[in-house]
Chain A
């Protein structure tokens, strides 16, 4: 049972000091979670701390590779609206 950080991480450091298991460490090109240490905050907090402060949707996955913060859940931007805006920009 462990969470993981993927390449969309922007290296903002917010999660690292919050981890009760010291499982998060700075690495290149982005922060990583030591799967052996990660407890998903079980026993320490109601919610996994890294996923509760992470500002980037989809950057933290659970053991089944499901994002804890799916698209639209943090920014409030509906995913289809974001896709529309990006397509519009690329057409210019």
Chain B
């Protein structure tokens, strides 16, 4: 389907295009310097930064103006971690207090987002009161907002006043036929509008909002939920169009649908994509634009590093008693941020150097390999196999090392066929690593070692505390030297 590009803005390119310089997983390399400065410490935008910096969401926005088939507004479970879910609704005053308490206690926290549990722009008073107070009282915190886009055009002016430079729009389609299969209704001009007509209104508002934000110089990231059989074939087109309009990042996320969530897709048995399908689509889209693969689809009240949630330490009753001297906290935060940046720059330089060395070495002619890594951050292998709640998956190939995805070990299983009663947690976790040939961790016990080997996955604890990319490359070269990668077949895709 050919769609008109209404607002063709020429994107200022950096020195080189994506993938042609730096490490192959450096997603920000194609951005202009000013955009890169804006996002390089943002854990949600920079794959690099998410190893060092933390984010938080405050749940001040309960109302929503649309229904999505992957969302259930009745759902609230403390053990769940996914979008739209929240334990405690906050007033703007409580949200400001919580944000400052977290910022003082977790100095790595650089970003405050409002993402729900409804739509932030369907709650403009609560959302903007929070942003206004924070930009006055805690100017060192970056503000961002995530929206379905329906109320976006009407909010752009207000957003630009509060100096919010990051907006995420969830755009799942450009086609109302497809839209009607994702959005049963929208609330628009005092009516509930169902079906294709409602979907068309949403699509028009999203595209208009995107154009208006770009016009204002506000950074826009686009999120898309990949729904097999519904919009999966269409998302490459979405990627193309939103990039042409000036979105700087596209994030394709897998549908989360389980019957127990009570969502339309969950109850009706709509499946989510397999790891392989997701990776194929992300690869297809990355030819057109910058992709992010480290998104953790966090809750609307998540606190901490991506993939972790420390919200329990900052509940309303706990922050009530905290006395925060934010001026002092800000001084301390500044020092810590500088130290982290210095460390990041050092590691970036070292990684560039090792990439150069890798290029200088004779080029391998071997097949790519997927490896799983257990890490708790800092971009090093520092997690015990049995303690890992997720694994990061990297692909090593003659072209270098690139980050592919994360795989959760406990929270979600990938379908009924992997959740038989007889299956132990260990066996389930091993199945999560399907497609990987090596797992790198700081330590591993005897039993998992044996079971991993039986499953054809080589455990490796020899690179504890080493830089991830360097270690993955070292293991890859070792495999090549030992003749484990003999057959080279460019057409062969490794199942991810």
Binding site for B on A (CB under 8 A): 8, 10-14, 18, 45-47, 49, 52-53, 55-56, 74-77, 81-82, 85, 88-89
Contacts and interface: CB of A to CB of B under 8 A. Distances in A.
Contacts of B64: 12, 14, 55
B191 A85 contact: no
B267 A55 contact: no
Contacts of A47: 190-192
Nearest to B71: A55
B326 interface: no
B267 A52 contact: no
A52 B190 contact: yes
Nearest to A51: B192
22 contacts: A8-B74, A10-B74, A12-B63, A14-B63, A14-B65, A14-B187, A52-B187, A52-B190, A52-B192, A74-B185, A75-B69, A75-B72, A75-B263, A75-B264, A76-B264, A77-B268, A82-B262, A82-B267, A85-B259, A85-B267, A88-B259, A89-B260
Contact of B187 (A11, A53, A88): A53
Contacts of A77: 264, 267-268
Nearest to B123: A13
A89 B187 CA distance: 32
Contacts of A13: 62-63, 123
Given A55-B73, A75-B264, A82-B267, A14 B184 contact: no
A19 B64 CA distance: 16
Contacts of A11: 62, 89
Interface of B: 62-65, 67, 69, 72-74, 89, 118, 122-123, 184-185, 187, 190-192, 259-260, 262-264, 266-268
Nearest to B267: A85
Contacts of B187: 14, 52-53
Contacts of A85: 259, 262, 266-267
Given A13-B123, A46-B191, A82-B267, A75 B184 contact: yes
A10 B268 contact: no
A53 B67 contact: no
B458 to A, nearest CB: 36
Nearest to B259: A85
A1 to B, nearest CB: 19
Nearest to B181: A76
Contact of A45 (B63, B185, B190, B259): B190
Nearest to B69: A76
Contacts of A14: 62-65, 118, 122, 187
A88 B123 CA distance: 36
Given A12-B64, A52-B192, A81-B267, 17 more contacts: A8-B74, A11-B89, A12-B73, A13-B62, A13-B123, A14-B122, A45-B190, A46-B190, A46-B191, A47-B191, A52-B190, A52-B191, A75-B72, A75-B263, A77-B267, A82-B262, A85-B267
A74 B262 CA distance: 13
Contacts of A75: 67, 69, 72, 184, 263-264
Contact of A56 (B69, B73, B264): B73
Contact of A74 (B62, B63, B184): B184
A26 B73 CA distance: 18
Contacts of B184: 74-76
- Of all A-B residue pairs in the complex, the 5 with the closest CB atoms, nearest first, are A14-B63, A55-B73, A52-B192, A12-B62, A85-B267
A75 B184 CA distance: 7
A91 B264 CA distance: 20
Nearest to A49: B190
Contacts of B185: 74
Contacts of B118: 12, 14
A60 to B, nearest CB: 12
